[in-house]
Amino acid sequence: MQRGNNHGKLAILSRMAAPVAAITSQIGYLTTIMWRDGTETETGAASGDGDAATPATLRVLLAQPRGFCAGVVRAIDTVEGALRKYGAPVYVRHEIVHNAHVVADLKAKGAHFVEEIAEIPDGATTIFSAHGVARSVVAEARARRLPVLDATCPLVSKVHVQVRRYADTGRAVVLIGHAGHVEVVGTMGQVDVPVHLVAAEADVAALPFAADAPIAYVTQTTLSIDDTRGIIAALQARFTDVIGPNTDDICYATQNRQVAVRALCAEAELLLVVGAANSSNSNRLVEIGTAAGIPSYLVADGHAVDPAWLDGVATVGITAGASAPEALVQHVIGVIKALRAVEIVHMDGAQENVEFRIPAALRD
């Protein structure tokens, strides 16, 4: 079972066809886990008397899907597989994924994270992060004859191929994305000709091309169809010869998590997104909640939850960015359980069964 679908005991319970009889504790507190097709109850944290304006039981809506995507699973498995096969240390250029807890866990196992190839000792096992790297980084590692494992997400690699193909046909290449993001840096470094970055519809007007210039666009994978729709429309309105990838090429995980958050926001009064501050897709989930008009917060783990956020709240929605492990979601829930009695509802949503194979050198 891949990590992205593994929610431990809760995942097992969710596959049960019939509801299970309620179990109440003998010390006066109760946590309810409610499924769309049945109910399971179990003991939880004491709710206390609480504020008169605060509902005694807090409904906690869990987004489906949430957390790890297939590209993140592949990247982490690549580091762990390299440690098993070659032993510590292994060197990873940039954080393997944007989550401090994941990075700390891999550091404890013997992974070293660096920002430059020059920091890697001669002959050391080298891993490129899930975000991908520029061709100059690949060339530098090759020149030093470093043994490299490429953990770039296959969907990012697909964008790299598209950029090279469009540039080879003589089209001006436009990248829809966020300046400075490590994935964007790697994508812009795939060709020797300029790649023009646009982050908003207003940026399209500043592109230095005639209206009939042949244009091709690609997108950062942590942006969804909804994120890019307006910019693509602006490109098509300004230029007469515009091509780009099919909508099927948009990262499935980004799109699915955003759709799931919108479903949460239709029912929740508060949104908690589990993820890192430097995670683009996690920040976007927070932005969606804010745009929906509900208080929305990015939390690294349960320690970041402010109890005051829950005052007067009857329903909270919880999701996680694509690089956040399920253990952190459960940590957040555990902290909330210590404050309130909770009813956990697993939302309906897309079922993800995508798997990406790890590098060939590790498949034995």
**Residue 8 CB neighbours (<10 A):** 10
Q: β-pairing, 172-176 with 111-114?
A: unpaired
The dihedral of CA 192, 245, 219, 148: what is its sign?
Answer: negative
CA distance 108 to 278: 21
CA distance 287 to 298: 10
Residue 345: strand pairing partners = 34, 61
Positions marked active-site: 183
CB 43 within 8 A of CB 30: yes
Q: Report CA-CA distances (Å) from 178 to 184, 228, 338.
A: 7, 12, 38
DSSP 113: E
Ordered DSSP codes for 21-87 = -----SSS--EEEEETTEEEEE------S--TTS-SEEEEEEPSS-S--HHHHHHHHHHHHHHHHH-
CB 11 within 8 A of CB 35: no
DSSP 297: E
The dihedrals phi and psi of 344, each to the nearest 5 degrees, come to -95, 120
